Amino acid sequence: MTIQGTGWKHDLLLALCATLLVLAINAISGFPTIADLGADNDSMLRLVEVRDLLAGQGWFDLHQYRMGLTGGFVMHWSRLVDVPIALIILAFHALGASTAAAERAAQIIWPLFLYGLTIFVILRASRRFAGTGVAMPSLVLATAALFFLGIFNPGTLDHHNVQLLLTAASLWLLMEAPFWRPAAFLSGLCAGLTLAVGMETAPYVAALGACAAVLFILDEKERLTARGFGIGFAAVAIAVFVATIRPADWGTAQCDAFSAFQFVIAALSGFGLAAIAGLSGQSTARTRFVSMSVLALAVAAVAIVFFPQCLASPYAGMDERVRTYWLNDVVEAQPFLSVAVNQPKLMAARYVTPFIAILLIGLQLRSRRLRREEGLAAVLLIVAFVVSLWQVRGSTFSIALAVLPLSAWIARIRLQASAAHSWRVSTRIAAAWLVSLNATWAGVAVAAQSVVHKAPGQINSDADHALTCGKAGDFSALAAMPATTVLASSNLGSAIVMFTGHRTLAGPYHRNVGGNLAMLDAFMGTPDAARAIVERQHVGLVAICRGNSEEMSLAAEAPTGLAARLLKADAPDWLELDSATANKPVEIYRVR
C-alpha cells in the first residue's frame, strides 16, 4: 500500500474545502484579524523584516535597526519564513498590485495556505492512526482546532504555524515510512526544518528522532526508516547552515537560533543514526541498543564539552527586571499553574482536549498494545502536553495532535451507532463531539467564571485584553510626524515600526535587553530620571496607549513614575501633549 493509493486526493479536496470555508468566514467579516492585529507583535515585526529584506537589507543581516538602542539588535528568527512571504509580495508586484495590496495578499494567502496543508497532514495521519471511517471526524475536529488556535488567521505571519505544519508532517511521514520509501527521509527533512525555523520545537524534534531510533532497536525491519530519517535530518541541517548563516559566523554558537550548536548536534545525531542503521552486524536488539546508546552519549558529550552554555534554561541569563516586567506577563510563556489560576478560560480551552486524548490512549492500552502508528502519535502528544505544562505555547502542538485519538474515538462510536441504533449511542456520539471541541470547554470556563464572578487575578492575566491599540488608524497621527525615536511600552514596539517610520526603544523580544531596560527605567522612574534617559537616547516622542495592560502594570508597580503620571494625564512640564491625539487610542507627547 502506498501513500498515493489511500485517498490522498480526497483528503486534499477536503482540506481545500475547509480552507475555503475559513477564507469565506474571514472575507464576510472583513478580515478582522488583518484590520486589527491586536497583540500579534510577532506578525507585525515579521512583515517589517520582510519589508527590510525587499528594500535591500542583506540576507544574512537580521538586525532590526529601528528597535532598541542606537544600532538596533539582531533578531533570533530564521530567514526561511521570510522567503515565501516575500515571494508572494513580489508576485503581486509583478501583476501590478500596489505595495499595500501585495502585502495584504500575502497576509491572506500565506497563513491560509499553511492552514490547508496542516489540515491535509492531520487527515493523512488520522487515517494511519485509525484506518477507515475517521476522515469526517478528523476533518471537523482539525478544522475547528486550528481555527480556534488562531495561528492560521489571515494576517498571522509568525512562524508558529510553519512549525506546527512541519512537526505534524514529520510525524505523519514517520507513520508512513513502512509503506512509502521516501517518507522517512522526508520526515527527517521536516524535523530539521522545524528546528531551523525556531528552537521552540526542539523537544518535538528530539522525540521524533528518538522514535526513529527506538523503532530500529525494537525491529530490524525499521532499518530503512532510521537511515532515511537520519540522512534527511542531517542533510537539511547542512543546507540550512550554509544557506542562512554567513561564513564568518560559522564558528559562533547561538543557543536561541540555528547556529553552529544546532548544526553540529543535528549533523552528528542524524548521520550517526543513519550510519548505525547501515552497519552490518546489527541483527539483535541488544546490539542495536548498545550502538544507539553510544551515539546518544557521544552527542551528549559534544554538547556538554563544546556548548555548555546552551544546556541552561533558555532565559537563564535574562535581566531580572526584564523577566519580571515582561517575560512573566507573556501569555504564551506562562506555566500551567499560572494559567489555571489567572486564566481559567485559556486553561480549559488549551489543556482539556489533549488530556482527554491522552486518557483515550491510556484506556486503549488496557485492552491491547498500541500499534506502531498509535505509539508514535502517543509519544509526540505526551511530549507536547508535558511542554505545555511548562509553557502554554506547547498546547498549540498538543491540541492539533489530540485530533488523532479524538477523531478515532468518534469514529468508533459512529461505527457502533451504524450497527445498533439507539438513543444511548446517539447520546454518546453527541457527547463525544462536544467534549472533543476546544470551544466547548472555553464556553464552560466562561460560564463558570461568570457564576462565581471571578475577575482576572492580575492586570496582565487576561489574554483577551492585553492590548487595545492594534489598528493602523491608531498610529496614523504618529505616522504623520517627522521620524524620531519613540518611547513606548514594549508591546507597542512592533506596531510602531510597522505602521510608522519611527524607531522605538522597546520591543517584546528577549534580545532587546538594552532598549527594554531603558523603557522600564524611563516609565518607572521619576520624571527627572525619565528626562535624562529621553535626552540620552535622543527620544523625540512619547506614546501612551490607554487600556494597554503593560502600561497599567508599570503604573501599578511605580505609582510615582512617568507611566503612572501620563495615565493620569499629569504630564511633566518637559512633555507637551499633541492636542489632536487627546483621548485617542494612542496619545502622543512631544519632548520640549
d(C-alpha 450, C-alpha 453), whole Å: 5
Residue partners of 214: CB distance under 8 A and separation at least 6:
none
pLDDT number for residue 447: 74
Structural domain includes residue 431 = no
Q: Does 361 share its domain with 479? A: no
Q: Does 87 share its domain with 7? A: yes
Q: Is residue 71's pLDDT more than 80? A: yes
Task: Kindly state the cell numbers that stand for 272.
Answer: 550517526
Q: Is residue 444's pLDDT more than 70? A: yes
- pLDDT bucket at 419, cuts 50 / 70 / 90: low
pLDDT number for residue 315: 67
- pLDDT bucket at 57, cuts 50 / 70 / 90: very high
**Lowest mean pLDDT, pick from 106-110, 140-144, 210-214, 454-458:** 454-458
CB distance 469 to 40 below 8 Å: no
Q: Does 392 share its domain with 496? A: no
pLDDT digit string (tens) for 193-215? 999 999 999 999 999 999 999 99
d(C-alpha 27, C-alpha 516), whole Å: 37
Enclosing H/E stretch for 139? helix 135-149
d(C-alpha 211, C-alpha 376), whole Å: 7
User: In this structure, what CATH number is given to the domain that contains residue 569?
Assistant: 3.40.50
pLDDT number for residue 343: 85
Higher pLDDT, 24 or 7: 24
Residue among 148, 141, 109 nearest 122 (CA): 141
Q: Does 378 share its domain with 229? A: yes
pLDDT digit string (tens) for 489-536? 998 999 999 999 999 999 999 899 999 999 999 999 999 999 999 999
Structural domain includes residue 294 = yes
Q: Is residue 172's pLDDT more than 50? A: yes
Residue among 121, 283, 269 nearest 207 (CA): 269
Cα 491–chain centre separation? 17
The values of phi and psi at residue 326, to 5°, are: -130, -65
Structural domain includes residue 315 = no
Q: Which residue has the cell 486550528?
A: 146
Greatest mean pLDDT among 2-16, 189-203, 415-429, 464-478 lies in 189-203
Q: Does 359 share its domain with 478? A: no
Q: Does 167 share its domain with 300? A: yes
- pLDDT bucket at 452, cuts 50 / 70 / 90: low
d(C-alpha 136, C-alpha 113), whole Å: 21
**533 is in which domain, residue-wise?**
467-591
Q: Does 369 share its domain with 515? A: no
Structural domain includes residue 449 = no
pLDDT number for residue 221: 92
What is the CA angle 93-98-103, rounded to 5?
A: 75
pLDDT number for residue 5: 42
Structural domain includes residue 451 = no
pLDDT number for residue 425: 77
Q: Is residue 451's pLDDT more than 70? A: no
Identify the domain boundary among 355, 373, 404. 404
On average, the pLDDT of the chain sits at: 90
Residue partners of 341: CB distance under 8 A and separation at least 6:
457
Q: Does 523 share its domain with 387? A: no
**Lowest mean pLDDT, pick from 119-128, 407-416, 558-567:** 407-416
Three-class HEC string of 263-330: HHHHHHHHHHHHHHHHCCCCCCHHHHHHHHHHHHHHHHHHHHHHCHHHHCCCCCCCCHHHHHHCHHHC
Structural domain includes residue 419 = no
| Number of domains the chain contains | 2
Identify the domain boundary among 384, 404, 424. 404
pLDDT digit string (tens) for 459-492? 443 333 345 688 899 999 999 999 999 999 998 9
Identify the domain boundary among 404, 425, 458. 404
Enclosing H/E stretch for 186? helix 183-197
Mean local confidence (pLDDT), 77-97: 96
Q: Does 478 share its domain with 395? A: no
Give Dmax (Cα) for the chain.
82
Structural domain includes residue 541 = yes
The radius of gyration of the chain from alpha carbons, rounded to an integer in Å, stands at 25
Mean local confidence (pLDDT), 414-423: 74
pLDDT number for residue 459: 41
Q: Does 373 share its domain with 513? A: no
- pLDDT bucket at 458, cuts 50 / 70 / 90: very low
**Lowest mean pLDDT, pick from 98-107, 178-187, 435-444:** 435-444
Cα 446–chain centre separation? 25
Mean local confidence (pLDDT), 341-347: 86
DSSP code, position 245: S
Structural domain includes residue 329 = no
485 in helix, strand or coil?
Answer: strand
Residue among 234, 371, 379 nearest 299 (CA): 234
Q: Does 471 share its domain with 400? A: no
Burial (CB < 10 A; 0-12, 13-18, 19+), residue 592, is exposed
Q: Does 293 share its domain with 385? A: yes
Q: Is residue 546's pLDDT more than 50? A: yes
Given the DSSP bridges, would you call strands 586-591 and 575-577 parallel, antiparallel or unpaired? antiparallel
